[in-house]
């Protein structure tokens, strides 16, 4: 299942602010975007550089990277000459598959956060997510026709859940192979793939020593350094009603990643009258309903992708325990979180506010960075 992130607005990124220091060429902000780079989304790249030609070179190279990473992480399609996640799944119980080391690196990061989250983030949940994908795609088509969808049988979900587990994943780094040792096993990397790809291309830009940049992959936003004029980035968090406006704005400086997971895209309505979205709780095997959205702000976009999903599927107190565990194991990394929930819900924190018909809670260090629209 491809997890589609909620659109997070980066405001004012296209201002053509120029900067020139002594003995340096003038640099300006250039931008371009495409919907043809994979991951079922638009991808926008902004870079401060010396010319349109130089920017076009950056843009074309990075879009090529996105296309290749999309092929590697795809669970639905085959590509000539590429062994991807689908290839691994298709060979479950049959044989190991030789893959690009990028896949192994991504799988290892997934296992690391499986452990940090006590199993709440689990890419081996593929058999369960496959069932939900079928029902959701059918439900979305019916919704367009004004009709109601249906929900999976719990017995089928429980049976599929027996096929999950990292004990079924064998990684051989020396041979660069991955093997699923049971035929019913399958991987679904939708909750990490886009963020991992965003971080990959952002780090390539950083190695080019660019002064300022933004990579935006359908709401997975990664800033590089601070704006040319020295002012903070203004990152808008979308209103959960699904409109185009932002409910709050976060002021941020330096290189950060912003990723939001929420319930207001890719959902259908079932015959029981309930809405069913795409983010599945691995404990209940049904869509999680604690919050409308969870936004994670941290350095690495892949990590932000993982944690936004993870924290969306657990209650507030459990989420804070995961945050504490992350900070203990990664003491030098910043991690800030924003939860948006129904206004009649209460959570145990002093850092919360009733705003625009919702209760919005946030981690302590954000208290001076949020602009309440």
Q: What token pair was written down for 284?
A: 């209940």
The residue count for the chain: 373
CA-to-CA separations, 23 to 26, 116, 210, in angstroms, rounded: 10, 48, 17
Res 7: pLDDT: 41
pLDDT digits (tens, 9 = 90+) for 85-97: 999 999 999 999 9
Q: How far apart are CA 189 and CA 31, in angstroms?
A: 29
Domain count, the chain: 1
Helix (H, G, I), strand (E, B) or coil at 352: strand
Range of the domain at 298: 1-373
Q: Is the pLDDT of residue 167 over 90?
A: yes
Tell me how far apart the alpha carbons of residues 5 and 194 are, in angstroms, rounded to a whole number.
9
- Give the separation between CA 178 and CA 108, rounded to whole angstroms: 11
Cβ proximity of 215 and 300 under 8 Å: no
pTM: 0.92
With pLDDT > 90 as the criterion, what percentage of the chain qualifies?
Answer: 87
Model pLDDT for residues 302-316, shown as the tens digit of each residue:
999 999 999 999 999
User: In CATH, what number is assigned to the domain containing residue 66?
Assistant: 3.10.520.10
What pLDDT score does 6 carry?
Answer: 38
Chain-centre distance for alpha carbon 140: 21
pLDDT of 170 > 80? The answer is yes
Q: What is the pLDDT of residue 15?
A: 42
What's the mean pLDDT in 105-122? 98
Instruction: State residue 149 phi and psi, 5-degree precision.
Output: -90, -165
CA distance 251 to 76: 38
pLDDT given at position 266: 83
pLDDT per residue as tens digits for the range 330-349: 999 999 999 999 999 999 99
Mean pLDDT check: name the lowest of 103-117, 164-178, 204-218. 204-218
For position 242, what pLDDT does the model report?
A: 66
Span 243-268, pLDDT tens digits: 668 999 999 999 999 999 999 878 99
Cα R_g (the chain), whole angstroms: 21
Contact 79, 71 (CB under 8 A): yes
* Closest residue by Cα to residue 360 from 347, 234, 252: 347
pLDDT of residue 4: 37
SS3 at position 369: coil
């Amino acid at each position: 299942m491809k997890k589609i992130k909620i659109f997070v607005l980066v405001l004012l990124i296209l201002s053509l602010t120029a900067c020139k220091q002594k003995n340096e060429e003038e640099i300006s902000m250039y931008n371009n975007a495409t919907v043809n780079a994979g991951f079922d989304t638009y991808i926008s790249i902004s870079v401060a550089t010396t010319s349109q030609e130089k920017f076009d070179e950056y843009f074309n190279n990075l879009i090529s990277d996105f296309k290749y990473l999309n092929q590697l992480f795809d669970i639905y399609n085959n590509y000539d000459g590429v062994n991807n996640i689908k290839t691994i799944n298709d060979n479950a119980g049959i044989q190991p598959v030789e893959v690009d080391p990028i896949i192994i690196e991504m799988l290892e990061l997934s296992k690391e956060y499986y452990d940090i989250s006590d199993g709440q983030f689990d890419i081996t949940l593929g058999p369960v997510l496959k069932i939900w994908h079928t029902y959701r795609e059918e439900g979305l088509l019916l919704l367009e026709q004004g009709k109601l969808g249906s929900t999976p049988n719990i017995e089928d979900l429980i049976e599929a859940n027996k096929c999950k587990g990292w004990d079924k994943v064998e990684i051989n780094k020396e041979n660069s192979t991955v093997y699923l040792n049971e035929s019913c096993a399958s991987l679904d990397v939708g909750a990490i793939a886009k963020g991992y790809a965003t971080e990959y291309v952002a780090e390539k830009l950083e190695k080019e020593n660019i002064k300022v940049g933004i990579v935006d992959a359908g709401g997975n936003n990664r800033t590089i350094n601070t704006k040319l004029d020295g002012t903070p980035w203004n990152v808008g968090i979308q209103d959960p009603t699904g409109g185009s406006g932002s409910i709050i704005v976060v002021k941020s400086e330096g290189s950060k990643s912003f990723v939001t997971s929420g319930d207001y895209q890719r959902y259908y309505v079932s015959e029981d009258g309930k809405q069913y979205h795409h983010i599945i709780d691995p404990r209940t095997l049904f869509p999680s309903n604690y919050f409308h959205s969870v936004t994670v702000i941290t350095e690495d976009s892949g990590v932000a992708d993982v944690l936004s999903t993870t924290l969306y599927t657990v209650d507030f107190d459990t989420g804070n325990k995961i945050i504490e565990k992350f900070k203990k194991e990664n003491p030098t990394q910043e991690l800030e979180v924003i939860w948006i929930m129904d206004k009649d819900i209460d959570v145990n924190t002093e850092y919360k506010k009733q705003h625009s018909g919702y209760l919005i809670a946030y981690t302590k260090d954000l208290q001076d960075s949020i602009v309440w629209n």
